[in-house]
Structure 1
Amino acid sequence: MNLSKSCFLVAAVCLLLSLLRIEGKQSHTEELFLKHLPDGRVFAHFEFTTTWDVHPLLFVQPSNVHHYGLFPKSVSEVVSHYQVQEAHLSLTQGKWRTRVWGYPPDSTPPGAELWVWFLPNADAKQQWPGLVNALSGLLCAHLNVIGPTSTYRPLHSFRPKGPVIGNLSSSQLRYAAVPRETVCTENFTPWTKLLPCGTSAGLASLFSALQLYDTDFHSLALHFSPTCKGGDCSSVGVQLVQTLSVVFPPPINSQQYIEWSLKSLFSKSLSSSCPLSSSSRIVMDTSNLTSGLAFSIDPPRVEASGRAVYDIASLTGLSKKFDLKVKSLTQFVPEMPRPPLLHTQRLLKGSGHEWGGLVTEVYNNHRHTSVRVLYLDTIPWYFRVFIHTLSIQNATVSYQHYEPSKDRVRPHLLELLLTVPPLTTAIVSVMINRGFLKWTEHPPDAHHGFYVNSVVLTTVLEECPNCTQLSDNGTKGPYALRIHTEPLLISIATPDFSMPYNVICFVCTVIAIGFGSIFNLTTRKLVPDTKENKTGIFSRLTGFLTRGTKKEQEDSIESKEETDTNVEQSIENQ
């Protein structure tokens, strides 16, 4: 009996310890990064990080997780149900101008982009469709258009950002993009509900949809990945990073001075920090101010690293609000900044609706160093790619992988490893033929055109003067970069969707004329044409309407005649 009690107590203690270990510690931090761009615009980057000290293999088992404090339960359920190791989803409105603004903290193409690493024991092919639909419902995004014909499996691009769980195999990676996806408050509202404090406190209380969507660039993202606990990465947890990047128009007043504040940008000032956040701060980069202008910052808090750091918890309270004010001391004169060391653009050549070509230009502006670039191109299946016309100029190719498409089954995929010499422009071009689609395969606005995804470049630079460094300690290389080109909008042969309407009108007219004539001839009663029947329908209708008037006139005439007769008789009698 005592032995059974001892075993029960030991099992209970072990279970309690395992539950404590599985529950783990949860923490949340928030940060707002502000920076002046070379053309006078203001860049604002919000980053909300929620960390949970739970191993990813235990995290994906719903039976092991019983308590949700700061980590959103909706994200946890999606990740655990579909056996996700890493998931990165971005919704972007506008194009980031790399040649003028430099490199963003995280490059995203216009529209929606999703890339996911599944756990080694997961069936990626089976889990991918369900995950896409779940994320589509989570953020109210139009991701359900992603199917087998728009899903890609790169071999070397999109490496995991966090520590790798198990063996790394490209068969567990899935990538998709929807360039035509538009971003609006329907996506922004559910995104803010994933925050521990929502929009009621903390940096998220600055959010105003009217201000955020009246900007030159807007991008919100959701990143789930494993994370290391400690410098040696002896233990692994999970983290959810929510980012929002916004580029505001140049805040230039009538005297050509740059002047702005938090209240002018977001229409409100900051009243409190999130009580659930262990760190809440605002960081302004003052090291690369626009065109070398001198600025006055209120309140002044510039550190030796060239950054102004403000702790929101100590600057806000029950009765005080925080508002950062910045004003230039001299007038602003626009200048063209020095181009980044590596940038790219994409072009469409050809004319008509049948033949054409895709051209990508990669610029290496470094004076002495060659750059190795991993080139990824994803093309829909209805564009016929003639791979024998692939031309690579001014660059050396050390690796090439091409996966041809199958009609209505899978798209094209091209991966290249290029070495671009210094001060050289590499040109990658290929000829295409625009195919014909069935009339049921066209979108509702078929005449708008069809999008081709952005080319994705992945590289590592030893120096990067145009990079946006969010961390105080991240000023030394190497720098891992991912660069997107602009998507292409291509017109293809489109059927005349007004033809069904024209056919319906024509057929109905013919039937009305033909059937109507035959019906009249077979059902109308024919009578002899006599004098009594010569009166037409117009005369009959006129007579019917004026019948009462004629009768009144006849009655008046008769009464008048009787009156005259009576008068004559009275005269004779006299």
Structure 2
Amino acid sequence: MRSLLSLLLLIVPSVLVSAADYHEQLNLRPLPLSALLASFNFRANTSLADFEAHNFRLFPRSLGQILQYAGTRELHLRFTLGRWDAESWGTRPWDGTREGGTGVELWAWLDAETDEEADEKWLTLTNALSGLFCASLNFIDGTRTIRPVLSFQPEGDHPNSTLQSTRLLHGVLPHEVVCTENLTPFLKMLPCKGKAGIASLLDGHKLFDASFQSMAIDVRPICPSEGECVLQLEQTVDMVLDVDRSKRPHDNPIPRPPPGHDLICDTTKPYHQPGDACYPVDHLRGQDWTLSQIFGRTMKGTCPLTDAEVPPVCVHIPPTRDIFASEGAHEIKYSDNDSMRCYQINQDQEFTLILTNAESTADGEARPLGIVKPETPVLYAERSFTGHGQEHGGMQAILTNPGDDPVEFVYMESLPWFMRVYLHTLSARISASSPNVNTSSADIIKEIYYRPALDRARGTQLELLVSIPPHCTVFLTYDFEKSILRYTEYPPDANRGFDVAAAVITTLEPKVMNIRTTSLLLYLPTPDFSMPYNVIIFTSTTIALAFGGLYNILVRRMVGANEVPRAAFKDKVLGFIEKLKKKRAAVSAAAASAGGSVRPAVSNTEAK
């Protein structure tokens, strides 16, 4: 009987986990300029029947209850800090689908029949997520919320009847500072809470010291062709680490030039002289590191709930590079991708990796480039302000297609209400150095969706369907007017400027990917906030002087000196003597009462 009970206890957890599977994986990819891309991916599935019945196993209960209460069908939340250098690092990880604009970005599909109902549920969702992730999502009000039309298609599987009764809302906070307060609730949503598996490598000091970092949370329904529908929660962390800065010791954080005997010289240069002149080898070719140096710790085994068939760690390096793993780890190589190596790890054993430098090919030749060449992006995007002055300004977006095929994409901007866009100034022109210079603006901008702003009620929404010919650079420009705010609407650091959210680019052809531009800083007409203080000081002084003088005139009695009655000298002397007598009598009475007895009076005769 006891053996049967033990067998049942072993079978039941396996059935539960198979119904709601979970896996995690870390992908490491060296990048140019001594950078390293680390992509953490955590994915948990739970059946829709269990989710609706409030049976939370691998799905976090705190997030599930919020989604149910707010009627959320699909959710996407982003915490991003830094800038992705596409010209040096190539294509974005996950084709940009797990990336957001600078700050916090949120969009979701909500069950609502009317816009008013959607606004109420959106307010509930933002306030609840604000408390869950320790972020200022509750500041996403009507002025920071839009309803995209051409962008943001659902990633999950939704029936047509369900989509007809849902509303898509999008909000962004470009001024939000992402910090460890947002990482802690992110880790608590994982089954192993960051205590085991690849999550044990996530350290706030390393994550927020990265050149670029993004945390993504995606919740969507998935309905496979065979089987029941599941609700999928995917958590992603992407960060680009500076290898040299990560390897710097904690006791000596100040960067110093290495000594001469540690320099690796490029002997192919004609002016190379041993011991005299040394041209350092490009740091692109000398990237070596260990897992403990990059993340400051070793990996604590694997999470017991993860799928054993998915290798937890993969490295993308050329096959000529040597890499060493901890004892007990099993290396997996793929025939269709020789630049990818994955490792199976024991559950209770710590794991680390050691990547060595690329060896020289021959005497006198420099080391080969020890990284996989980054893939060229489909589109390059830049955005900046133009013009001068505090009354008017302009926006310019530079979009470059480096490929051989035309690129079709949706360009979306969510602008604050105090940027009054002049839509008639919108223009698109091709650079003079591009081959198709004669392409008209109508051939570039195929469709426009514009929703004007309302003062202090909603922002401006601009969506453009754009097509760029091959090897062309397009300039999108428009003008706007800067509004004057009330003095109570300025932040404490008014002279810093106001953050403008990044533009969202969704490519449709030749493949689907997302691109975010950098956020901008807009300077508005700012009053001199020292003037109210000066006015208060001068006004108070004037009132005090005027009131004091007027009060003295009204209250005081003004009498001439010759009208004051003067007492005779005799009366003054008698009055003074009378005061002395009274004072002497009072002193005698006090002394008598202090003595406790009264002596009989003595006559003048007896005294003599």
**TM class by smaller structure:** 0.7 to 0.9
Residues 23, 54 of structure 1: 8 Å contact kept = no
Q: Secondary structure at the match of 2:447?
A: strand
Deviates more, 1:492-501 or 1:425-434: 492-501
Residues 103, 173 of structure 2: 8 Å contact kept = yes
**Counterpart for residue 85 of structure 1:** 73
Residues 39, 250 of structure 1: 8 Å contact kept = no
AA in 1 matched with 2:303 = C
Looking at structure 2, the residues matched to 343 and 453 of structure 1 have their Cα atoms a distance apart, in angstroms, of 18
TM-score w.r.t. structure 2 length? 0.72
Residues 28, 315 of structure 2: 8 Å contact kept = yes
**Counterpart for residue 36 of structure 1:** 30
Q: Number of residues paired by the alignment?
A: 476
Against the structure 1 CA distance between its residues 387 and 526, is the aligned structure 2 distance closer, same or farther, given a 3 Å change threshold?
same
> What does 1:166-565 correspond to in 2, within 5 Å?
166-167=160-161, 168-169=163-164, 172-229=167-224, 232=225, 235-251=228-244, 254=258, 255=263, 257-279=286-308, 281-286=311-316, 294-299=320-325, 301-304=332-335, 305=337, 306-312=339-345, 314=346, 316-317=347-348, 320-330=349-359, 340-367=377-404, 369-394=405-430, 395-462=443-510, 479-515=511-547
Residues 25, 314 of structure 2: 8 Å contact kept = no
Identical amino acids, percent of aligned pairs = 34
AA in 2 matched with 1:503 = V
C-alpha deviation, 1:286, in angstroms: 2.7
C-alpha deviation, 1:242, in angstroms: 1.1
Looking at structure 2, the residues matched to 212 and 525 of structure 1 have their Cα atoms a distance apart, in angstroms, of 80
The gaps in structure 2 that reach 5 residues or longer are 1-14, 248-257, 264-282, 326-330, 360-366, 431-442, 562-608
Deviates more, 1:252-261 or 1:240-249: 252-261
Q: Secondary structure at the match of 2:302?
A: coil
**Counterpart for residue 93 of structure 2:** 104
The gaps in structure 1 that reach 5 residues or longer are 1-20, 463-478, 529-574
Against the structure 1 CA distance between its residues 414 and 163, is the aligned structure 2 distance closer, same or farther, given a 3 Å change threshold?
same
Looking at structure 1, the residues matched to 70 and 17 of structure 2 have their Cα atoms a distance apart, in angstroms, of 20
Deviates more, 1:178-187 or 1:393-402: 393-402
Residues 359, 428 of structure 1: 8 Å contact kept = yes
**1:294-330 deviation line (CA, Å, top 9, x unaligned):** 5321136543322111123x2x52xx42101112225
C-alpha deviation, 1:79, in angstroms: 0.6
Residues 358, 368 of structure 2: 8 Å contact kept = no
TM-score w.r.t. structure 1 length? 0.76
Against the structure 1 CA distance between its residues 170 and 149, is the aligned structure 2 distance closer, same or farther, given a 3 Å change threshold?
farther
> What does 1:38-187 correspond to in 2, within 5 Å?
38-55=32-49, 59=51, 61=52, 64-65=53-54, 67-102=55-90, 103-105=92-94, 106-119=98-111, 123-167=117-161, 168-169=163-164, 172-187=167-182
C-alpha deviation, 1:383, in angstroms: 0.9
Against the structure 1 CA distance between its residues 509 and 309, is the aligned structure 2 distance closer, same or farther, given a 3 Å change threshold?
same
Against the structure 1 CA distance between its residues 294 and 138, is the aligned structure 2 distance closer, same or farther, given a 3 Å change threshold?
same
Looking at structure 1, the residues matched to 111 and 220 of structure 2 have their Cα atoms a distance apart, in angstroms, of 11
**1:7-52 deviation line (CA, Å, top 9, x unaligned):** xxxxxxxxxxxxxx99992222111111011222001011111110
Looking at structure 2, the residues matched to 235 and 361 of structure 1 have their Cα atoms a distance apart, in angstroms, of 46
Looking at structure 2, the residues matched to 243 and 527 of structure 1 have their Cα atoms a distance apart, in angstroms, of 92
Residues 294, 328 of structure 1: 8 Å contact kept = no
AA in 1 matched with 2:29 = K
Residues 392, 482 of structure 2: 8 Å contact kept = yes
Against the structure 1 CA distance between its residues 22 and 325, is the aligned structure 2 distance closer, same or farther, given a 3 Å change threshold?
closer
Q: Secondary structure at the match of 2:299?
A: coil
C-alpha deviation, 1:171, in angstroms: 6.3
Against the structure 1 CA distance between its residues 161 and 96, is the aligned structure 2 distance closer, same or farther, given a 3 Å change threshold?
same
C-alpha deviation, 1:396, in angstroms: 2.3
Looking at structure 2, the residues matched to 152 and 68 of structure 1 have their Cα atoms a distance apart, in angstroms, of 32
Looking at structure 2, the residues matched to 155 and 245 of structure 1 have their Cα atoms a distance apart, in angstroms, of 28
Q: Secondary structure at the match of 1:172?
A: strand
Looking at structure 1, the residues matched to 240 and 456 of structure 2 have their Cα atoms a distance apart, in angstroms, of 39
C-alpha deviation, 1:353, in angstroms: 0.7
AA in 1 matched with 2:45 = T
Residues 219, 244 of structure 1: 8 Å contact kept = yes
CA RMSD of aligned residues (A): 3.0
Residues 251, 260 of structure 1: 8 Å contact kept = no
Looking at structure 2, the residues matched to 452 and 181 of structure 1 have their Cα atoms a distance apart, in angstroms, of 12
Q: Secondary structure at the match of 2:244?
A: coil
Against the structure 1 CA distance between its residues 244 and 458, is the aligned structure 2 distance closer, same or farther, given a 3 Å change threshold?
same
Against the structure 1 CA distance between its residues 143 and 209, is the aligned structure 2 distance closer, same or farther, given a 3 Å change threshold?
same
Residues 95, 109 of structure 1: 8 Å contact kept = no
C-alpha deviation, 1:389, in angstroms: 0.8
**Counterpart for residue 551 of structure 1:** none
Q: Secondary structure at the match of 1:295?
A: coil
Against the structure 1 CA distance between its residues 163 and 246, is the aligned structure 2 distance closer, same or farther, given a 3 Å change threshold?
same
Looking at structure 1, the residues matched to 164 and 396 of structure 2 have their Cα atoms a distance apart, in angstroms, of 31
